[in-house]
Amino acid sequence: MKKVEITSVLEVYDSCDELEGNVQQLMKEATLIRDKAYAPYSSFLVGAALLLENGEVVLGNNQENACYPSGLCAERTAIYAAGANFPKVAIVAMAITAKSLHNVLLTPVPPCGACRQSIAEYELRQKKPIAIYFMGEKGKVVKSSSLENILPFTFDNSYL
């Protein structure tokens, strides 16, 4: 038996103001789309903005449903829109922000496991890392330089 240690290195910024200009702008876009989310059941609004290699920005927010599991997270709404509209263009970065209508969310909110799995497919497909930036409503922003960094043991098509 041997033990294997897996580590993830993340960057933590005190606020959006510390981010590079183009990422700050991307986070602003994520904020605007977040506030248009359809989240009447959870009152938890999430926005995701993707920056593509050609400069295009693709947006998504969570879309809930009276049949709860039929809803979709912001990150997957955005990544599938990018895959549908720009199938050959690599995704460089994703900015994510979440806001609760019940309290001010100061903790950075990472993409859920299902979203990480979905984003991983795109990162593997394009063979280039996707930088992930996530935050709450205000405060600290966490950066992961790739999706793989926050999803060790990704299930991928090599197992099929």
DSSP 93-139: EEEEEEEESSS---S--PPPHHHHHHHHHHHHHHTS--EEEEE-SSS
Structure tokens at 38: 């359809």
Is 75 catalytic? The answer is: yes
Among 13, 32, 71, 140, binds ligand THU (CB under 6 A): 71
Closest CB 81 distance from ligand THU, rounded Å: 14
Structure tokens at 1: 């038996």
Q: Report the residue number, 68 or 159, with the smaller CB distance to ligand THU.
A: 68
Q: Is 72 helix (H, G, I), strand (E, B) or coil?
A: strand
What lies within 8 Å, CB to CB, of 30 at 6+ separation is 47, 48, 49, 59, 95, 96, 97
Q: Is 101 in the site for ligand THU (CB under 6 A)?
A: no
Closest CB 64 distance from ligand THU, rounded Å: 5
- Residue 98's beta-bridge partner residues? 46
Q: Report the residue number, 58 or 115, with the smaller CB distance to ligand THU.
A: 115
Touching ligand THU, residues 31-60 (CB under 6 A): 39, 42, 44, 46
Q: Is 13 in the site for ligand THU (CB under 6 A)?
A: no
Closest CB 158 distance from ligand THU, rounded Å: 25
* x-marked contacts with ligand THU along 72-91 as a string, rule CB under 6 A: -xxx----------------
Structure tokens at 68: 């709860």
Closest CB 37 distance from ligand THU, rounded Å: 7
> Rounded CA gap, 140 and 114, in Å?
23
For ligand THU, the binding residues (CB under 6 A) are 39, 42, 44, 46, 62, 64, 71, 73-75, 111-112, 115
Active site residues: 75
